């Protein structure tokens, strides 16, 4: 692979992706945090698909900037690339020695209608969807439905869609989920981490009342937000200036008007700030972004323009003046500041948030939720939020780690009071509990949330092995079934045996590793011991 060094998690992702495809699943998802090389991974997989399986790749993105970045990356990796976008047509691309291009990079908007139908249905053996959280949109589905006989790879940093729709309707499995925690702190034994910088938080005491704001499309209404923060622009700007110091900073606001207002207020306070928006022509916008990257000014203000596809490693502060109910939106905003910047002295990324006042049911996303990468109990999140808001732990990753320790101590206390059997009874037939003691990483929002429900056959299969699949998505059920089959192949205890051992007092981590035959012996021994007692 020319000029680009792969990372351990990228190698693991590539291996897992091909294992999914060769194992009979035509579509799979890889989840990598922003800044962890999703495009490079796509290139690695494209190269192997071409060399080992004769499959050429169609790479889909929804914005012109993403198309250009991807094409440049694939070319640096030694591949012949053609672009299908607006007036650029890949169909007539001659390629090396008259061959078809290895990769076609195209915009979803262009590949529609007559333009889509101009391609042979079997033209591509692999389709890769960048920013795959958009994959359920009608425009994407038109492309997936048109082409035939291909493997499908989705790559995203944020698999949970803002509108609550589940990606299990598009992807059959998750080949790899690499968490923000691992990208920052590593994943022993072979991944040293350090691919992204640590996060620290500052919560400014500027009270903005959001209690009357409606929700639209699963998030706070943009117009209402703009109106709510308008009277506080100067206070928000002043608090921001005090927190960011000399850091290169991006500020996200509800709309263009508030972005321009914040930039103007900061200028009046002596800070070098500019707003950037879609109202600018391409040349003016590019010039502004280039000037910011060259540190000709310190603070750039925008609404959604820079939330995806914009890389500026020198950014070391992200200011969230656009509160959100959507974890995906929040993660994209914070991802603008997590990349390392060698030689720049950047040690971390500061997240500046504010004391928003909301109604019950409008739970705003905070930095703590960026580290909710498995089946954490809700209480862990609550403890971590408290540590963060009270200033006892400004690093959200460490706040979650401390919260987990506190939660475990509380659980031990509960067990001493009620007895282990009572403490773990709730786990029987409960998918969250089963996931916890079997070590299955789940996301409540797309394994147990809305989306394509588990099939009747999946529900019946899982209930037979001790797991209640009612309310589970098809995607989540598939994950549990894969784990049950893996345990059977490795002759490990069944989920029912694991549950039974835990109810009898065996440590959950030990119970999940016991072999099938030994599990029966342990259960009999413990039952006899209790009868003798």
DSSP 381-409: HHHHHHHHHTTS---HHHHHHHHHHHHHH
Per residue in 280-300, pLDDT tens?
998 999 999 999 999 999 999
**What per-residue confidence (pLDDT) applies to 95?**
52
Strand partners, 199: 349
Per residue in 416-440, pLDDT tens?
444 433 333 333 345 666 777 777 7
Cis peptide before 34 (omega within 30 of 0): no
Per residue in 234-261, pLDDT tens?
999 999 999 999 999 999 999 999 999 9
Mode of pairing for the β-strands spanning 248-252 and 27-31: unpaired
Closest by CA to 391, choosing from 358, 355, 338, is: 355
Residues 478-497 have a mean pLDDT of: 88
**What per-residue confidence (pLDDT) applies to 93?**
56
How far apart CA 159 and CA 179 sit, in angstroms, is: 12
**What per-residue confidence (pLDDT) applies to 460?**
87
Mean pLDDT of the chain: 86
Q: Regarding predicted confidence, which is higher, 494 or 440? A: 494
**What per-residue confidence (pLDDT) applies to 496?**
84
Strand partners, 429: 467
**pLDDT class for 164, splitting at 50, 70, 90?**
very low
**What per-residue confidence (pLDDT) applies to 429?**
46
- Tell me: pLDDT of 64 over 60: yes
Name the most confidently modeled range: 447-451, 472-476, 477-481.
477-481
| Topology, domain 8-185 | Rossmann fold (3.40.50)
- Start-end of CATH 3.40.50.300 domains in the chain: 8-185, 208-373
Closest by CA to 466, choosing from 490, 446, 487, is: 487
> Which of 3.40.50.300, 3.40.50.11810, 3.20.20.70, 1.10.40.30 is the CATH number of 208-373?
3.40.50.300
**What per-residue confidence (pLDDT) applies to 163?**
45
């Amino acid at each position: 692979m020319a000029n680009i060094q792969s990372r351990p998690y990228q190698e693991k992702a590539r291996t897992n992706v091909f294992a999914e495809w060769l194992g009979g699943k035509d579509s799979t998802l890889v989840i990598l945090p922003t800044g962890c090389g999703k495009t490079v991974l796509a290139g690695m997989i494209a190269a192997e698909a071409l060399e080992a399986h004769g499959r050429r790749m169609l790479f889909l993105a929804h914005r012109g900037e993403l198309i250009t970045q991807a094409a440049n990356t694939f070319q640096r990796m030694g591949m012949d690339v053609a672009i299908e976008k607006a007036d650029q047509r890949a169909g007539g691309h001659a390629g090396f020695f008259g061959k078809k291009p290895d990769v076609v990079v195209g915009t979803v908007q262009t590949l529609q209608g007559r333009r889509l139908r101009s391609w042979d249905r079997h033209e591509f053996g692999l389709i890769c969807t960048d920013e795959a959280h958009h994959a359920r949109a009608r425009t994407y589905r038109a492309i997936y439905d048109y082409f035939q006989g291909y493997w499908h790879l989705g790559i995203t940093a944020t698999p949970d869609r803002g509108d609550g729709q589940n990606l299990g309707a598009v992807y059959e499995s998750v080949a790899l989920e690499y968490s923000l925690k691992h990208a920052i702190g590593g994943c022993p034994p072979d991944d040293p981490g350090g691919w992204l910088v640590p996060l620290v938080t500052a919560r400014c005491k500027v009270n903005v009342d959001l209690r009357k704001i409606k929700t639209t499309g699963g998030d706070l209404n943009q117009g209402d937000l703009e109106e709510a923060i308008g009277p506080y622009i100067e206070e928000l700007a002043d608090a921001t200036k005090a927190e960011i110091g000399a850091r290169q900073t991006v500020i996200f606001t509800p709309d263009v008007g508030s972005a321009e207002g914040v930039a103007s207020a900061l200028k009046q306070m002596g800070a070098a700030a500019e707003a950037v928006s879609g109202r600018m022509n391409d040349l003016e916008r590019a010039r502004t972004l280039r000037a910011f990257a060259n540190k000709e000014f310190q603070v750039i203000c925008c609404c959604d323009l820079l939330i995806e596809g914009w890389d500026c490693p020198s950014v070391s502060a992200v200011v969230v003046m656009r509160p959100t109910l959507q974890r995906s939106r929040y993660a994209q905003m914070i991802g603008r500041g997590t990349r390392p910047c060698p030689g720049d002295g950047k040690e971390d990324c500061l997240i500046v948030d504010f004391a928003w006042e909301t109604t019950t049911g409008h739970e705003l996303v905070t930095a703590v939720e960026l580290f909710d990468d498995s089946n954490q109990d809700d209480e862990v999140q609550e403890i971590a939020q408290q540590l963060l808001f009270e200033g006892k732990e400004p690093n959200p990753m460490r706040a979650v780690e401390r919260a987990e320790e506190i939660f475990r101590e509380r659980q031990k206390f509960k067990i001493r009071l009620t007895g282990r059997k009572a403490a773990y009874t709730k786990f029987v037939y409960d998918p969250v509990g089963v996931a916890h003691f079997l070590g299955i990483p789940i996301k409540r929002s797309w394994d147990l949330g809305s989306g394509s429900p588990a099939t009747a056959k999946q529900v019946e299969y899982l209930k037979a092995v001790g797991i209640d699949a009612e309310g589970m998505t098809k995607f989540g059920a598939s994950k549990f079934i894969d784990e049950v089959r893996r345990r059977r192949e490795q002759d490990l205890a069944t989920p029912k045996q694991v549950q039974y051992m835990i109810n009898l007092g065996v440590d959950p981590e030990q119970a999940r590793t016991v072999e099938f035959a030994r599990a029966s012996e342990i259960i009999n021994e413990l039952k006899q011991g209790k009868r003798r007692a």
